[in-house]
Amino acid sequence: MNNLFSCVEDLLKQNNLSVSIATTKVIVNYIENIIFNIVSISCIIALINNTKTINKKNIDIVNKYINDICTIPKMKGGAPVLPSEYFGFDSARYSITNNTNDILGINFESGIMRPQIGGGLSAKTKKSPYISIIKDILKYYKIKASADIIKCYISTIDVYVLCFLKKLKAYKDKITSIVVKKIIKDNKTFDIFK
């Protein structure tokens, strides 16, 4: 639970949501319940189909249900940015006197053809706190799941949690434990498994 608690704290900070420790605990418990319900539903589907292994089809059924009731807004791109030369103004960017460093140059001494400019995974990339919870639930049902299926679970849970955080962000007053419980109870999206 400590990993999940710190993960939820980080998510709340990233979404500019300031809540008490007691409220964070309520959110953590809610997310644990969501994880249990999502994994349990797919396990029950597998058991109904007389199999001891979760497959992509089991996850797709749960995903379809969740996607039907919870939509996350897609990111949209910004306006195109054109150089001033397009509008007839010379910025001297392309002149021979613009002597800037070529960051994509070949470094023959180090054997690097082109340095990485960004992206890629950090060496300190955190492992999802959901994994151990998912594995415990699978163990309880005596059902197996591949690493790819566990990634699918994590994606499904992430979408659901983002949908929940979006609802919290839309709340105008102070977010307390009572408010969180009310949002869950009053909203079909978040109280779907009851």
Q: Which domain holds residue 66?
A: 1-72+127-194
Q: What is the pTM of this model?
A: 0.67
Q: What is the DSSP letter of 103?
A: T
Query: pLDDT, tens digit, for every residue of 17-46?
Result: 889 999 999 999 999 988 998 899 899 999
pLDDT of residue 64: 81
Judge whether 39 lies within some domain.
Answer: yes
The domain that holds 131 is classified in CATH as 1.10.20
What lies within 8 Å, CB to CB, of 32 at 6+ separation is 1, 4, 133
Judge whether 110 lies within some domain.
Answer: no
Structural tokens at position 158: 């992430």
- Taking 50 as the threshold, does the pLDDT of residue 89 lie above it? yes
pLDDT of residue 3: 80
